[in-house]
Structure 1
């Protein structure tokens, strides 16, 4: 899990640090995270609201569209461990208007995949970390895996990930907010445990 924070810290442009962390720990799709507005983030409640996605058409145009699935419109709890990064990002890089996009390209336009990889120096960061074959969408997979490891039920996971399911599961989505908060808390606790373990190894190494 500490590798996610390491990757975020290695982004060549600090604007993308929060992008890495939020995508991973909220299990977001690329189109969902780049479509987020300031009003979609509630730092006090520690939630992110997914209501649309940005799609890059074959011709290069970017269009806003509904989420990929019916269950895609959702509110996801986020770990307290990433709130400081989000707070910093909102203060430094995001306009004050409620509808201001949270993640934009360097020139203020919609963030495109190619621009992100180039400006963040994604490939260079992975090479420096010794990681091969990692794609941006793998961050969501990592978040899904961590959520599953927290002991969440299948229904809770489907609600968090925005997966389609039958009507009963979609209704249950609205009743799983408390369970979803526990997922986020478990993720945060694991981040802190990993950090302490890593710091312990550094200290023991220094003493040796």
Structure 2
């Protein structure tokens, strides 16, 4: 069990809330009387005076052993604590969690008291979300978001249990095939985008060659590009409107070859080291959402016979090309900025021709068997 002193320190750090909670200091003597004391979550204290120390400490123990109870609804708790609960998340993840709260969690469960939400309520809410066409990944994300708030409530001793932990999770959706583009298709897309803005064409070609995420490519600066060594360093990325470290918090290096080298050779030399590589017409920051709107990306993909292709698939195109070129998967993992080889292996499935090779070998074997027979 958490020590009394430690639990008291936690109380002082938690926000003001109408909660009765365990935790106390040692009884202290006041003249001829003894005062018992316990701390509330807001840092305030509750005291009571007794004739003997035994009575004071017995009262403290009884209060400390009371279960944590909050009278707040989930919506009230989220409103009060959201800043603290989401503070340690990356900007993009925090933005996603706020979306989960706004679109699903609070409309379904926000009106209930925290202590009155049980696993059945959580599963019913998840089933309702799924029935409206919400993907399993979004349902799971919403449950993860809700669980995070309950974990903090337990840490702050405002709840005793997390009803999300025992909830059944939705079955994963069928894995989406990762489409990749041929060199001719990349040229076609880049040319159509360049017809809207010349630098949009460069944006597409660099994404399909360097394998950077959109936020990483748009944060690339002149100082990050070493044309002599043909290497660039990914040091930062835009995420939910905030400039920070790349995904997983690690910088990495990517080799520059072919078309990417030609584009960067036009854009980098002679410019200030802190300048962005990709900018708008007036030299300002290029926004990914503005690009998608300007080129009408979904409509453009349909017109080109590439319906369902996402901009992120340009990154997949680069990664698959690296694998097909014969680069070791560990090198591809490092250049792509994957957290593990298991992620890289998803792309390796596209790059390998295992089934085609198996078909060729089996066909050759059967042909030989017929001849020999």
Is TM more than 0.5 here?
Answer: yes
Q: Give the aligned partner of residue 133 of structure 1.
A: 308
Structure 1 residue 120, shift from structure 2 partner:
3.5
For residues 121 and 84 of structure 1, do their structure 2 counterparts lie closer, same or farther at Cα, with a shift above 3 Å needed?
Answer: farther
Shift of 1:84: 2.1
Cα drift, residue 107 of structure 1: 5.3
Q: Is the 8 A contact 1:74 1:162 kept in 2?
A: yes
In the other structure, the counterpart of 1:76 is 254
- Structure 2 match to 1:85: 263
**Structure 2 CA distance for partners of 1:43 and 1:26, relative to 1, 3 Å:** same
Q: 297, 321, 332: which is aligned to 1:146?
A: 321
CA distance in 1, matches of 2:331, 2:237: 22
Partner of 2:200: 16
Q: Matched residues in 2 for 1:40 and 1:80: separation? A: 18
Instruction: State how far apart, in whole Å, the 1-side matches of 2:301 and 2:277 are.
Output: 24
Structure with larger RCO (C-alpha < 8 A, sep 6+): 1
| TM-score, normalised relative to structure 2 | 0.39
Deviations along 1:102-146, one digit per CA (max 9) or x if unpaired, are 223455443322201123443454244221111111111111111
Q: How many residues align?
A: 157
The alpha carbon displacement at 1:35 in A equals 0.5
Give, in whole Å, the separation in 1 of the partners of 2:298 and 2:265.
27
RMSD: 2.3
Distance 1:135 1:106 in 2: 25
Q: Give the equivalent residue in structure 2 for 1:26.
A: 210
Alpha-carbon contact 1:32-1:53 (below 8 Å) kept: yes
TM-score (norm 1): 0.67
Q: Structure 2 matches for 1:189-200, cutoff 5 A?
A: none
Equivalent-residue separation in structure 1 for 2:232 and 2:184 (angstroms): 22
Structure 1: unaligned runs, 5 residues or longer: 57-61, 167-208
State the alpha-carbon separation in 1 of the partners of residues 268 and 202 from structure 2. 9
State how 1:46-195 maps to structure 2 within 5 Å. Answer: 46-56=230-240, 62-70=241-249, 72-90=250-268, 96-106=271-281, 108-165=283-340
Which is greater in Rg? 2
